[in-house]
């Protein structure tokens, strides 16, 4: 977020309704996408919570439990429970590091890798279905706008961690 930009003034408390909130609409879109992806991936007996770490391991290589928790923005306890379920299903295994006994690495099994390979096809199908009727320019504009919202969010987060940062230019978050 650039402090030289004028602050947004799109929402007013006296006129606010959740159904016009950008945050509410984004949450509903995300929920719809995840529900559709879960339905598509049900054939492999995995949910969003389960296919995401499989796909991250597949695309990024080896993770530690703590690293995966950070990357997925989950608390370590929830991550451990999730990994327990995936391990019971035979989709990943934990391997103690040979160089540091305190570190436990996560490794996909062949069955986990097979599921992770399906994720891009499923997500592309689901996302394209949700974008039906959009032109390529509209799709690109939507992506750019969402990236700008994320950039504003990162700047707000950084400013809240640094109390000496100058205020101003804060956009409404919903």
Mean residue pLDDT across the chain: 88
The 10s digit of each residue's pLDDT in 87-134 is 999 999 999 888 888 888 899 999 999 999 999 999 999 999 999 999
98: three-class secondary structure by DSSP = coil
Q: How many CB atoms lie within 10 A of CB 44?
A: 18
Q: Are 165 and 159 in contact (CB under 8 A)?
A: yes
What residue has token string 């492999």?
Answer: 44
Yes or no: is domain 18-155 CATH 3.40.50.1370?
no
pTM listed for this prediction: 0.77
Q: What is the pLDDT of residue 97?
A: 85
Alpha helices in 21-135 (DSSP H): 22-41, 48-60, 65-72, 76-88, 110-130
- In percent, the amount of the chain with pLDDT more than 90 equals 57
Domain boundaries, the chain: 18-155
- 171 or 104, which is more confident: 104
The 10s digit of each residue's pLDDT in 66-95 is 889 988 889 989 999 999 999 999 999 999
Q: Using CA atoms in the order 92, 95, 97, 101, what is the torsion angle rounded to 10 degrees?
A: 130
Q: What is the pLDDT of residue 27?
A: 95
């Amino acid at each position: 977020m650039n402090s030289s930009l004028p602050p947004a003034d799109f929402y007013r408390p006296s006129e606010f309704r959740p159904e016009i909130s950008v945050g509410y609409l984004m949450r509903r879109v995300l929920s719809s996408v995840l529900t559709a992806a879960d339905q598509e991936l049900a054939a492999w007996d995995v949910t969003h919570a389960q296919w995401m770490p499989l796909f991250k391991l597949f695309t990024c290589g080896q993770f530690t439990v703590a690293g995966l928790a950070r990357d997925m923005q989950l608390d370590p306890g929830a991550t451990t429970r999730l990994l327990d379920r995936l391990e019971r299903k035979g989709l990943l295994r934990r391997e103690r590091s040979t160089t540091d006994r305190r570190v436990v690495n996560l490794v996909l099994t062949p069955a986990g890798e097979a599921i992770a390979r399906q994720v891009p096809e499923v997500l592309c199908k689901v996302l394209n279905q949700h974008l039906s009727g959009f032109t390529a320019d509209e799709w690109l504009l939507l992506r750019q706008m969402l990236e700008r919202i994320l950039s504003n969010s990162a700047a707000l987060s950084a400013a809240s961690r640094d109390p000496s940062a100058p205020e101003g230019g804060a956009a409404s978050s919903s």
